[in-house]
């Protein structure tokens, strides 16, 4: 009897050895070399990766290890360096991911997000805004001289979310725990902004929503992931979500929900939508796909709610630098609010996109519930645009009467900044609160009340400027 057990014990051990070996065989020899050192130098990265789908899923007979991502197309990456006999690059880009995920990468390249850096720095008005926010105000006899911001300041502000331009300055040898090694020297990195310009000329960073090295679908499906960039006064989607019924139900019940399943079943895996459900995910109900997964996102967006300076229909192209209004300004509307139609989607496309979004709502709500929701949103757009027009008229008066100066920049005087707050903070808050059904933020928090109050203040300030000019 004893021998019998021993026999099985030995058989069991041999089996374990073999399966271990088989798993090892699935790890490419290159990746085994990386792991041998990186288990020691960067243990956090290795254990994170080990728990990922990539460490288990097989592509061409091999799992997706360090070398499978960090040594792809060495000649295309300006940050490629010689590392223990391998041509390694540090910044793994959407083009690398595209080798195995071509659909997601292609869609993402057509997302407004991929253009978030370019749209900011190549639009003279937005660039001015960037400089007025990040520049250094030096007090002079007659007001301020604004020194343009340094790259590092922009990096610590707008580019954190919009993405930086990552450049390779050169290569430098330094001491490591394993002796001297040569590494690339970057400017603009570390950064995971959504429109980052990469050293292989690609745009964006997939780790904005799929943090390395787990690259998990669960993380991307949860709203906290979006909060990094969508929470501020100008872009309060996350704040709105957390007080909406969708968000409060998520907060109460999320432990019981399943964020990793494929397909992700509405009603079974989750009961109220997260950001991903309404904007990105495949919405799957009872064996039917109600909305296809999209990494482009605009296919469900009829409007551009974010005021530039008015809310308009969504732009046709994610590259918004091509837009010019009648006054020659790079804005999607005239200063009077009229949309610059030729660069924006038409009524038919708007309706299509609205229906794509509504189809998701209709899995859980009735038609009348949803129709009134979108009627409220249209009204929020109409009323906030009207308030923005009043603010713009006040500012135009200040410029015309010479009590504010347009030619030295649109954003650097108090009355100009009050005008900015009208559309960037308060009008946006009202619209976002309406669109995503969390009204609190859009009323007394930083919405309708402040929007009206700000107009009162602009009016009084203008009167004061005019009197003191006399």
# chain residues binding ligand HEC, by CB under 6 A = 128
Interaction of residue 437 with ligand HEC, rule CB under 6 A: yes
| Of residues 48-77, those binding ligand HEC (CB under 6 A) | 49, 53-54, 57, 59, 64-71
* Pick from 175, 178, 182, 212: nearest CA to 86: 182
CB of 59 to ligand HEC, least distance (A): 4
- Binding range to ligand HEC, per CB under 6 A, among 238-246, 385-393, 449-457, 458-466: 238-246
**CB-wise, 77 or 448, nearer to ligand HEC?**
77
CB of 109 to ligand HEC, least distance (A): 7
Interaction of residue 415 with ligand HEC, rule CB under 6 A: no
* Pick from 42, 44, 26: nearest CA to 34: 42
Interaction of residue 165 with ligand HEC, rule CB under 6 A: no
- Binding range to ligand HEC, per CB under 6 A, among 7-15, 92-100, 136-144, 459-467: 92-100
**CB-wise, 209 or 404, nearer to ligand HEC?**
209
**Long-range CB contacts (< 8 A, 24+ apart) of 118-126?**
118/195, 118/197, 118/203, 118/319, 118/321, 119/162, 119/195, 119/319, 119/320, 119/321, 120/158, 120/162, 120/195, 122/321, 123/320, 123/321, 123/330, 124/330, 125/329, 125/330, 125/331, 125/410, 126/330
Q: Please give the structure tokens belonging to residue 301.
A: 């967006």
Considering only 257, 306, 425, 426, the residue that binds ligand HEC (CB under 6 A) is 306
DSSP-based three-state secondary structure for 438? coil
Interaction of residue 101 with ligand HEC, rule CB under 6 A: yes
Interaction of residue 245 with ligand HEC, rule CB under 6 A: yes
CB of 226 to ligand HEC, least distance (A): 3
Interaction of residue 281 with ligand HEC, rule CB under 6 A: yes
On whether the CB atoms of residues 440 and 433 are closer than 8 A, the answer is yes
Phi/psi at 302 (5° precision): -80, -35
Interaction of residue 427 with ligand HEC, rule CB under 6 A: no
| Of residues 166-225, those binding ligand HEC (CB under 6 A) | 176-178, 181, 183-184, 192-194, 204-210, 212-213, 215-217, 220-221, 223, 225
Write the DSSP string, 390-416.
Answer: HHHHHHHHHHHTTSS-STT-SSSSHHH
Interaction of residue 320 with ligand HEC, rule CB under 6 A: yes
Considering only 27, 77, 126, 164, the residue that binds ligand HEC (CB under 6 A) is 126
Write the DSSP string, 130-199.
Answer: HHHHHSEEEEETTEEEEEPPPHHHHHTTHHHHH--B-EEEEEEEEEETTEEEEEEEEES-S---TTPBPT
Interaction of residue 84 with ligand HEC, rule CB under 6 A: yes
Residues paired with 284 in a beta bridge: 265, 289
Considering only 27, 121, 302, 331, the residue that binds ligand HEC (CB under 6 A) is 302
Interaction of residue 387 with ligand HEC, rule CB under 6 A: no
Interaction of residue 257 with ligand HEC, rule CB under 6 A: no
Interaction of residue 411 with ligand HEC, rule CB under 6 A: no
Considering only 28, 77, 80, 92, the residue that binds ligand HEC (CB under 6 A) is 92
**CB-wise, 95 or 403, nearer to ligand HEC?**
95
On whether the CB atoms of residues 177 and 186 are closer than 8 A, the answer is no
CB of 458 to ligand HEC, least distance (A): 21
Considering only 27, 28, 94, 446, the residue that binds ligand HEC (CB under 6 A) is 94
Write the DSSP string, 304-363.
Answer: E-S-SSS-EEPBSSS-GGG---TTS-SSSB-TTS-B-GGGB--HHHHHHHHHHHHHHHTT
**CB-wise, 313 or 465, nearer to ligand HEC?**
313
Q: What is the largest CA-CA distance in the chain?
A: 111
CB of 460 to ligand HEC, least distance (A): 27
In which residue are the tokens 């997601």 written?
Answer: 104
**CB-wise, 42 or 325, nearer to ligand HEC?**
42
**Long-range CB contacts (< 8 A, 24+ apart) of 439-445?**
439/243, 440/240, 440/243, 441/236, 441/239, 441/240, 441/243, 442/240, 442/380
* Pick from 181, 226, 221: nearest CA to 88: 181
**CB-wise, 37 or 466, nearer to ligand HEC?**
37
Interaction of residue 356 with ligand HEC, rule CB under 6 A: no
Considering only 78, 265, 297, 399, the residue that binds ligand HEC (CB under 6 A) is 297
- Binding range to ligand HEC, per CB under 6 A, among 5-13, 106-114, 396-404, 443-451: 106-114
């Amino acid at each position: 009897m004893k021998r019998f057990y021993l026999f099985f014990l030995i058989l069991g051990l041999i089996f374990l050895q073999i399966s271990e070996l088989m798993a090892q065989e699935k790890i490419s020899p290159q990746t085994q070399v990386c792991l041998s050192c990186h288990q020691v130098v960067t243990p956090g990265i290795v254990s994170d990766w080990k728990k990922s789908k990539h460490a288990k899923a097989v592509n061409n007979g091999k799992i997706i290890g360090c070398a499978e991502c960090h040594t792809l197309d060495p000649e295309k990456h300006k940050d490629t360096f010689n590392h223990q006999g391998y041509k390694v690059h540090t910044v793994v880009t959407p083009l690398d991911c595209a080798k195995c995920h071509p659909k997601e990468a292609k869609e993402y390249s057509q997302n407004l997000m991929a253009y978030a850096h370019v749209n900011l720095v190549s639009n003279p008005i937005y660039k001015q805004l960037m400089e007025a926010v990040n520049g250094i105000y030096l007090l002079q006899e007659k007001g301020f001289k604004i020194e343009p911001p340094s790259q590092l300041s922009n990096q610590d502000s707008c580019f954190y979310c919009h993405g930086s331009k990552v450049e390779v300055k050169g290569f430098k040898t330094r001491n490591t725990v394993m002796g001297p090694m040569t590494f690339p020297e970057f400017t603009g990195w570390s950064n995971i902004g959504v429109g980052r310009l990469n050293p292989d000329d690609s745009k964006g960073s997939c780790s904005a929503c799929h943090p390395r090295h787990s690259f998990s679908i669960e993380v991307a499906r949860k709203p906290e992931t979006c909060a990094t960039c969508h929470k501020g006064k100008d872009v309060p989607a996350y704040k709105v979500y957390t007080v909406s019924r969708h968000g409060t139900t998520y907060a109460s019940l999320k432990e019981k929900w399943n964020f990793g399943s494929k397909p992700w079943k509405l009603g079974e895996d989750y009961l109220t939508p997260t950001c991903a459900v309404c904007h990105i995910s495949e919405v799957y109900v009872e064996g039917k796909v109600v909305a296809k997964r999209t990494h482009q996102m605009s296919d469900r967006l009829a409007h551009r709610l974010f005021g530039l300076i008015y809310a308009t229909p969504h732009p046709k192209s994610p590259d918004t630098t091509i837009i010019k209004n009648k006054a020659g300004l790079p804005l999607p509307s005239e200063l009077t609010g009229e949309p610059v139609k030729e660069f924006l989607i038409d009524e038919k496309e708007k309706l299509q996109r609205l229906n794509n979004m509504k189809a998701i709502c209709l899995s859980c709500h009735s038609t009348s519930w949803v129709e009134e929701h979108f009627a409220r949103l249209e009204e929020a757009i109409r009323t906030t645009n009207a308030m923005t027009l009043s603010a713009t008229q006040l500012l135009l008066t200040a410029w015309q009467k010479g009590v504010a100066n347009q030619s030295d920049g649109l954003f650097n005087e108090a009355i100009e900044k009050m005008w900015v707050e009208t559309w960037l903070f308060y009008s946006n808050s009202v619209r976002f609160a309406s669109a995503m059904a969390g009204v609190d933020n859009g009323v007394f928090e930083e919405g309708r009340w402040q929007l009206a109050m700000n107009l009162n203040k602009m009016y009084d300030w203008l009167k004061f400027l005019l009197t003191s000019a006399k």
